Structure 1
Amino acid sequence: MARTRAAQVVWIVCVVCALVLALGALLIAIDANRDNGLVSFVLSTADKVDLGVFSRKEGIRQFDGSNADLKNALFNWGLGAIVYLVAGRILDRLIRP
């Protein structure tokens, strides 16, 4: 019972992290108003959740030129969201009895 509950918690945390990264990338893509409280909260949370590895400023892949900020966010945060989902599923399977 406890292992099943722990596996569920790990999976939910990973899904929420992936959702925050995907939502952050979407907000960058639609050029949302960054002065808005909710938008700034999502973007700052995504900056924390990316763990520096998938950072839109210094992530795995950095683009230059026009729309570089958009490309960086979509690539790095999108990849980060995928990694969270895969890692969450693997951890779920390992923890579950």
Structure 2
Amino acid sequence: MSESQLAQVRTRVAQVVWLLCAFAAVVLALGALTYALKTNADNGLVQAVRDGAGFLDLGLFSMDNGIKEFTGDNADIKNSLFNWGLAAVVWLIVGRLLERIIRP
């Protein structure tokens, strides 16, 4: 494999990594938005987004035991916006860093 071909492969891999991390951030943001807008939790799409966000929070930014845990009125909304919002930002930062490392 020539040097230019290797550079093209590394560029494509970097782009894919960035897209996957950006997608994870979007899912987390949409999950938080479903709580903020008080969407119907029985809806299959809403539940799928929330399940995906729950998986992508990696346990560190979870709604139940995240970085910060709110109590009282609208605690679910505050927990989702803070913890999943923070997780989305982390995914974007990690994605950008990995993209810069992988790219030639």
Cα offset, 1:2, TM superposition: 1.2
Match of 1:78 among 76, 80, 85: 85
Q: 1:29 aligns with which of 18, 30, 36?
A: 36
Q: 1:52-75: CA deviations, max 9, x gaps?
A: 011111111101111111100000
The residue type paired with residue 67 of structure 2 is I
Larger radius of gyration: 2
TM-score (norm 1): 0.97
* Unaligned residue ranges in structure 2 (runs of 5+): 1-7
| Identity score, percent | 58
Structure 1 runs (4+) greater than 4 angstroms displaced: none
Q: Which runs of 5+ in 1 are unaligned?
A: none
Aligned match for 1:62, one of 56, 60, 69: 69
**Paired residue total:** 97
